[in-house]
């Protein structure tokens, strides 16, 4: 998390403040979930000591949909389409086997990784397919 803050978040905030002609110490709000690392005293203290202009705003557990409506309204549909695409792929693979004793799914990491692009393309087409 420290690497993320130092190498990605702070440069992003700094660029935005520069673009908007804001003071470099202008406060910025960073909204986080309550993952144990985010909420740890060590991380909180490190942020406060190194970047006092970053205000940590924690989303209470179970409230992601209220604080992140895009996660519920847009990403939820994408996740559903990815799941549907994955299930269809597995169903086709099982159906292609001769009999129940011949069923053996390749779950090696390389095979699963290679399926990701096709799954995402399928999900894209499912989302953009008018009913």
pLDDT 10s digits, 42-54:
999 999 999 999 9
**pLDDT (tens digit, 9 = 90+) per residue, 14-26?**
999 999 999 999 9
pTM for this prediction: 0.54
CB 56 within 8 Å of CB 35: no
88: Cβ contacts below 8 Å, ≥ 6 apart: 122
How far apart, in whole angstroms, are the C-alpha atoms of residue 23 and residue 102?
67
**Tokens (6 digits) for 36:** 């144990």
56: Cβ contacts below 8 Å, ≥ 6 apart: 30, 32, 38, 44, 47
């Amino acid at each position: 998390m420290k690497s993320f803050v130092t190498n990605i978040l702070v440069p992003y905030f700094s660029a935005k403040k520069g673009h908007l002609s804001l003071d470099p110490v202008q406060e910025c709000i960073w909204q986080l979930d309550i993952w144990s690392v985010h909420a740890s005293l060590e991380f909180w203290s490190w942020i406060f000591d190194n970047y006092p202009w970053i205000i940590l705003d924690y989303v209470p557990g179970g409230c992601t949909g209220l604080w992140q409506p895009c996660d519920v309204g847009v990403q939820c549909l994408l996740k559903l389409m990815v799941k549907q695409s994955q299930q269809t792929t597995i169903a086709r693979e099982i159906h292609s086997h001769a009999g129940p004793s011949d069923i053996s799914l390749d779950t090696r990491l390389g095979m699963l990784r290679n399926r990701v692009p096709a799954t995402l393309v399928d999900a894209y087409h499912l989302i953009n397919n008018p009913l």
